[in-house]
Amino acid sequence: MTWTSLTSLPSNLMMRMMKKLLLAAKLLLGIVLASCGNEDAPLTRQHASVATASGERIRLLVGFDTGEGSNPRAMTVDTGVSDFSASEELRSDTYGKYKYTRWRPGIKGTSKAVFSAEATEPVTLVFYHGSAAYPVPAQIKIKNVGGRYHGDIEAEIPAALSGVTRSSIEVAGVLGATSVNATTGKVTVSAPPAILEGEAMQNLPMYFPKTALSASSDVISGIRFEFLGVLVLIPIYAQPSEKTPYAFIPEEFTFGPSRFSESEVEVDLSAGGAPKLTRTASSSYVHPLREVVMGEKNVRDNMHILYVFPMDLGVPTPVFPTIYGTYYPMVGNQYDKTQGKKFVIPRLSNIFSKGFSQGGRTIVYDMSIIHYNGDFGNGLLKGEPNATGYSVFSGRAVGNKIPGRGWS
């Protein structure tokens, strides 16, 4: 499956201090789908008031990609980004010169996710006739055919549509639904837990757009599932310090309070084509990371991976990628869990965007724990304007004597 492109709009020089793009976005993500349906817990599905079936059956033949396979539930993600290296540069701002350690990959290829097995998965179908929507639960049987994965869905047409001309009925579908509104047909999906590269990511929600039924056949082919979310790759680098050995645990990531991404959305497929995504009341724009210890005598770099839902903001908006976590002093080969302190890796960015594309990939660079920039981080970008006590770390050696400079 090919992932569509995301275009970041150029900066209008909001901040003279920013000289580089701090967020690099490369989309066109070629993805290979795969299935391991028996390894993860079943979805919680709420179909208490779905449409009554008519007894008239149809069969949908669906595909997932143009590559080797696909998986709606569990995928091992290969980012295609590797060979990272640290290089030190000399930069300057209005306060003076400073060292800047860049953490960049030598290889940037396509990202892939690979199936591990065939499976049978739940799928939510929504039938449309005029302005009415009729959600129906069904099953999709995913098979490996010649190295590529295909799906076979058998479903009953809702009783309310019995006798209606088939060609005037349309059907859309969602994999990974957590609930569905029986009246509107809008489907709720949630983001899967974050992973590190090489781990399996569970339940990546997907959809296929409205497709008209056939007046002459019960079999509909040519349907293809697309991804609802955006894949966010966050390479984090922690450089140990001999003078102040600490263990760092990155815990949360956000693109900033403008809410470029959400953890839970309602999917509206009624207009056809790409669906409209609307955040739910319980959604968050601050996303938990897969917690892993980094720093002194531990892992120095990790590729964190999120699959979240992009929002269309409508107007060019600055992006503020930020990581929050906790760090602890090392005592021998262990870290002291009783002396934890909050830290932040902030980024003021000259990237402007209206939003990320569904099915896209974006890489967030320079989330580095190298230089200590003081304790002036106030948690503002996390939605806590009165919070204090964050230690600021980054790839920039800007010092800790000027309040707020670490945020630059």
d(CA 206, CA 175): 5
Distance of CA 114 to the CA centre of its chain: 17
Where does the pLDDT of residue 66 fall: very low under 50, low under 70, confident under 90, or very high at 90 and above? very low
pLDDT, position 31: 32
- Looking at residue 37, its pLDDT comes to 30
The residue that leads in pLDDT, 78 or 352, is: 352
| Average pLDDT of the chain to the nearest whole number | 79
Token representation of residue 347 = 């980024």
What's the rounded mean pLDDT across residues 150-156? 91
Top-confidence residue, 113 or 66: 113
pLDDT digits (tens, 9 = 90+) for 202-227: 778 999 999 999 999 999 999 999 88
Greater confidence (151 vs 22) lies with 151
Q: Indicate whether 48 pLDDT > 70.
A: no
Given a cut of 80, whether residue 16 has pLDDT beyond it is no
Cβ(36)–Cβ(137) below 8 Å: no
Higher confidence at residue 92 or residue 404? 92
pLDDT in tens, 292-318: 988 766 678 899 999 999 999 999 999
Q: Is the pLDDT of residue 254 over 90?
A: yes
Q: What percent of the chain has pLDDT over 90?
A: 42
Q: What is the per-residue pLDDT for 311?
A: 97
pLDDT of residue 93: 82
User: pTM here?
Assistant: 0.82
Q: Distance between CA 210 and CA 172 in Å, rounded?
A: 4
